[in-house]
Structure 1
Amino acid sequence: MTADSLIAPLDRRKALRCMGWAGTGALFTLSGGIAHSRVLDGTSSAGNSAAAFSFVQISDTHIGFSKAANPDPLASLRQTIARIRALPRQPDFVLHTGDVTHLATAAQFDTAQQLLSEIGVPVFAVPGEHDMVDGADPRAFNAHFGKGIVGDGWFSFDRHGVHFIGLVNAALLGASGQGTLGRAQLDWLKADLAGLSASMPVVLMSHFPLWPLYPDWGWGTADAEEAFSLLRRFGSVTALNGHIHQIQRKVEGHLLFHAARSTAYPQPAPGQGAGPGPLVVPAAELPAHIGMTSLSVTMVDAPIAVTDLALG
């Protein structure tokens, strides 16, 4: 990745509130060191301050999926793109947290790249397990979306006083199908963080949740504890992920974990039903379950994060 991208750290001074299940994206702005959000509905401004920085997160577009849970995920993605393009102020970039495609075929990568380019702002992505050829090879994904990467696609950069890290935890699966970071990536992360001041905000993006959301379904990262030990000295750490196709949040000290919705189809809540997978809902209700919900918009300057909630 290049240093042209940045996402905002999240302030932790007030309670996190959920706006509900409407909308197709989360638009974040950074103004005065505090992150804010607005509903991505085509009418919201990216911020009243000219100095505000904004980004949009999307995830799990699953280009190539065509089953009953959503026979036309291309239409869902196009709707999301239209909402982004209709914003009065364009975000600085779009962040995609994996499963860009469903089967990692050349045609699906080409279609995804073409559609995402229509947003008109830079798009930065990490791979999901569906983006891996034969389940573990990210080279085709990286050929389309990787820039300035290390190993399977890791990267970091600094911008506007924020350290941004892209992690790959979908290339190798651990116990119960959880994601893993692996020794080489953990060593790289340690070296990457070593020279940073503890006061510098850190933002991570990955596909699998870094925290053990529901390990029995593979919803976690088996070797993430070592990463947490490296991150706990920082005053503000925000980890954004996809994979589970629904909003889930946890806060442990200064670490905020936020899982985004899919633009393609929903999945069941943790532990509800036989296991993870595409969740079929009535067609009229599908828009209420896909895309991503904007967060904590109670007033213009409302922060979107909470503090001091236990993990697990």
Structure 2
Amino acid sequence: MSPAARPTAAPPCRPRPLRRPVRAIIGIALLLLGAATGVFAGDADAPRALVLFPEKDVYREAADEILRYLRQHGDRVESIPLPAGDGDAQQRALERCRAERPALIITGGTALTADALREIPDVNVLFFMVPNAADAPFLEASGPHRNRVAGVSSDVAPSEQIEWVRHSAPRTRRLTLFYSERTRRTAEALDAAVRAAGVESVLVAARVDRFAEATDAAVHNGSDGVIMIPDSQIYNAASIQHLLLWGVREKRPVWAFSDKAVKAGAFAGIYADAGGVGRRCGELAVQMLAGKPPAEIGVVDCHTPQRAVNLHTAALIGISADDARRVPNVEVFGDKP
């Protein structure tokens, strides 16, 4: 065979270099795949739930129980305490939530819950220690966030409140409930429970700068006592002191919403157990992380309340506190000179 007819070896096959636009598209796709599947080590350790709460003892106690419960169940969770009045710290926490997009955001208190719902769309929110939940704007039936929020309020169930009233002062026949527009629905729910228990109830609109008018109304309507509803439009240090002195002067019991008020002179009180609220919130968080919709949970009242009675005040207003002090775990004040 002549040299001209001899076959020549084909040149080695070399892959063509990818054009820059193609390389860029593939690179972006790999990044998105890594983010979605948790390829990066940091994603594997990212918390599934973030707990945001004001740095106050009552929120801290509840948050610690939430963290403990979730960690016992193997969920990755991290807490972010927020110093009181530090708007920048709150904004940084919310920005982190937006960036990390955890499966669940857990918030303490009304204001922080409202901010989280407004600023972090499409992430479920579970709240704890929200007072007067029936009046919370973000729980309006027609509200834009209603289907992605649930939680545990700091409200004691109305039925338990009236049960404590009847146990601690069995002769009570008529009660006054002070309310403002901020707590109207909460007062109406309590009013319904009081009436269902066979006790008369009178709703009296009140405000902090004209509080004496409210206590005058309680005298005129023949009230046997007052159940306090936590409301900053009604109660501050001065109005609470006025009510407690009124109760002693008129010999009418006042049932307070905190142990501090009972210690200061209220006849008795029933209020949320922060640890119990945290444990219940932890249970709900596990359910939501497992896929349970917030709408199926709704709002849960505190069903592990704490109770207190002031023996000194009881003696001053002429009511026996013997039955009340025998209740298990009741906190007793006024028993020492």
Pair in the same fold by TM > 0.5: no
TM-score, length-scaled by structure 1? 0.27
TM-score, length-scaled by structure 2? 0.26
